[in-house]
Structure 1
Amino acid sequence: VYRAFSASLKRNPGNVDSLEKIPFLPVEFFKEHRIYAAIGEPEMVFTSTGTGGMGTSRHYVASLSLYRESFLRGFRLFYGDPSRYCILGLLPSYLERTGSSLVYMVDQLIRLSRHPRSGFFLYNQEELAEVLIELERKNQPALLLGVTFALLDFAEQYPVKLRNTIVMETGGMKGRRKELIRNEVHEILCRQFSIEAVHSEYGMTELLSQAYSRGEGVFSTPPWMRIFVRDPYDPLHLLEPGKTGGIDIIDLANVWSCPFIATGDLGLLHAGGTFEVLGRMDQAEIRGCSLMVL
């Protein structure tokens, strides 16, 4: 599929002599085609939520061990070993279906944390509040990783004062709540939890690596993942840092599917390689993985 796509753009290994000339496969191809380059059957097929009503992406994963190595190295790079934390997953919309790469990742992190209180929470918010209060009392470092709408619901019902807990949002509203810009979400969560910053995870079904933000919505990537921003009116032209456009991603962990992905997300690239996710491109499907800009 990627070979045919590249050929349609008159790009081939002979004339691609720089990163800027690499063709980035539109992420929508994962809905319409089997993007798979390995020999043999995949070990897992991850699927998207399909919240935009435009179909479900399917990512055929040849090696789960490669996925584990990617997300564990990435997590350790930014947060250290999972065993440092009690890890709490508030991911109701993901837990209610099968095939979520995010649930797989968080489940592995929970197992590696080895803390007796680590685990998933569906709608048992009162229990989650009790666990957080207990962890705070014991000065136990914790990571509360939740889908955005569920974190907002929980924060409104149980405004627990957090001092030793990292709050990390991902996944957007999934159609459950009115869309808010990221700053509004973070302002609410910071106020309700008495914290200074909300962390974020940026990932998607079609990628096997993740970027992380420790606050202010500025994301960093692991060394095997790189972000570019393309011209919205000329997708083959990449913009300089400081310009706003569509987010293109190189993810070398995608070696058996496609490492070069053109997303529908609108972003701003900074000179040092960090980036911001500003919303969705015009005409792009509104999906759960990032917040809209209104």
Structure 2
Amino acid sequence: MPDINAENFADIALSLFRFQYYNNSLYRQYTDALHIDPVSVKTLTQIPFLPISFFKTYQVKTGDWTDTALVFESSGTTGDIPSRHYVHDGALYESALLDGFKSVYGDPSEYAIIALLPSYLERGNASLVHMAKVLMEKSGHADCGFYLNEWDKLKKVLQRLEANGQKTLLLGVTFALLDFAEAAPMPLKNTIVMETGGMKGRREEWTREQVHTYLKNQWQLHDVHSEYGMTELLSQAYAVKDGIFKATASMQVLVRDINDPLDVQKQGTGCLNVIDLANVYSCAFIATEDICRISADSSFEVLGRMDHAALRGCNLMVL
């Protein structure tokens, strides 16, 4: 992946659009059905965004390849068809993940990384589990690991890390963080707590503000961090406080009108469109089912999900 910055992002994205139009038959058919001439697409807001639901019913691939490095699969709900993201180049994923993480948090080797992802560990192809594994491998700390509901053991590990002044990242699905916080209140001064959303029907739905307030009170935190990612994306966005996300270098977000999917703007409130330049061999232009508010500085909030969209584990309802 080339070095990406604010100055060259649009040029890279437009080149990738043309590459995917001519080498992804599904995306080309979708673009043609919208009567969009690829030659006329000159700006990011003119690019057609593929509905994310296509990942449920098609193998979204750019290029003629069969050698799959990874297959990420969403949790979905009972009876629902999961999304599948076929990843041709695992190095692209790892590069986007690590470059993005380092830009916000520094090198993973500085942290002990602990993951509370019980519902995701039940599946073999969860992108969030793979993300945590990559960060743990790059960390190399002896206390890195996944936990289910071993609250006493985890509390002792965190207390020891805190006593040693070790920087720690506690990454967790929302319901597991709430369960652990209820069972093990303690001061966490050297630990970043990062929620990834997701109640999975385990608890009453809380707003993000309620979740963060509870976690801050239980663990004496100044802020709770958040991660925005999903099966269909290889890049992430992070929020260091209050659920205000900043996309990493390989990602940009746009907003589309709820009633007119071709009305796409750089800021405002509506449905979230994501450009993910790491999705070279799938589709880089995704129309999600999340409702968002994008500010003038390109930071964004996730406000909830479209009414007809199935609940998915990587999103936290806040409406």
Q: TM-score range by the shorter chain?
A: over 0.9
Residue 10 (1) aligns with residue 35 (2):
yes
For the 8 Å contact 1:52–1:288, the answer to whether it is kept is no
1:151 counterpart SS class? helix
1:14 counterpart SS class? helix
Q: Deviations over 1:84-119 (max 9, x none)?
A: 011101110111111011111111111111111111
CA RMSD, aligned part only? 1.2
CA spacing shift, 1:131–1:276, aligned 2, 3 Å: same
In 2, distance between residues paired with 1:107 and 1:25? Answer: 29
2:86 counterpart SS class? strand
Range moving further from structure 2, 278-287 or 201-210: 278-287
Match in the other structure for 1:31: 56
1:52 deviates by 6.6
2:40 counterpart SS class? coil
Residue 250 (1) aligns with residue 275 (2):
yes
In 2, distance between residues paired with 1:240 and 1:81? Answer: 31
Aligned residues: 293
Range moving further from structure 2, 147-156 or 111-120: 111-120
Match in the other structure for 1:206: 232
For the 8 Å contact 2:109–2:139, the answer to whether it is kept is yes
Match in the other structure for 1:136: 162
> Where do 1:254-269 residues align within 5 Å?
254-269=279-294
2:151 partner amino acid:
Q
> Where do 1:130-279 residues align within 5 Å?
130-239=156-265, 241=267, 243-279=268-304
Q: Deviations over 1:27-55 (max 9, x none)?
A: 00000111011332211111000137431
In 1, distance between residues paired with 2:47 and 2:116? Answer: 38
Q: Deviations over 1:227-285 (max 9, x none)?
A: 001110111102352x2100000000001000000000000001111111111122222
> Where do 1:64-79 residues align within 5 Å?
64-79=90-105
Q: Deviations over 1:176-230 (max 9, x none)?
A: 1111111111011111111011000000000000000001110011122100011
In 2, distance between residues paired with 1:39 and 1:5? Answer: 18
1:171 deviates by 3.4
1:79 partner amino acid:
Y
CA spacing shift, 1:60–1:88, aligned 2, 3 Å: same
1:228 counterpart SS class? strand
2:245 counterpart SS class? strand
Equivalent residue for 2:138, pick from 112, 116, 125: 112
Residue 100 (1) aligns with residue 135 (2):
no
1:288 deviates by 1.8
The ranges of structure 1 where at least 4 consecutive aligned residues each deviate by more than 4 angstroms after the TM superposition are none
Q: Percent identity?
A: 52
In 2, distance between residues paired with 1:284 and 1:46? Answer: 20
In 2, distance between residues paired with 1:131 and 1:51? Answer: 33
For the 8 Å contact 2:77–2:310, the answer to whether it is kept is no
CA spacing shift, 1:240–1:112, aligned 2, 3 Å: closer
In 1, distance between residues paired with 2:69 and 2:165? Answer: 40
CA spacing shift, 1:128–1:32, aligned 2, 3 Å: same
1:254 counterpart SS class? coil
2:91 partner amino acid:
S
Range moving further from structure 2, 109-118 or 211-220: 109-118
CA spacing shift, 1:106–1:35, aligned 2, 3 Å: same
2:55 counterpart SS class? helix
In 2, distance between residues paired with 1:174 and 1:11? Answer: 39
For the 8 Å contact 1:86–1:118, the answer to whether it is kept is yes
In 1, distance between residues paired with 2:312 and 2:140? Answer: 33
1:175 counterpart SS class? coil
Equivalent residue for 1:280, pick from 283, 305, 316: 305
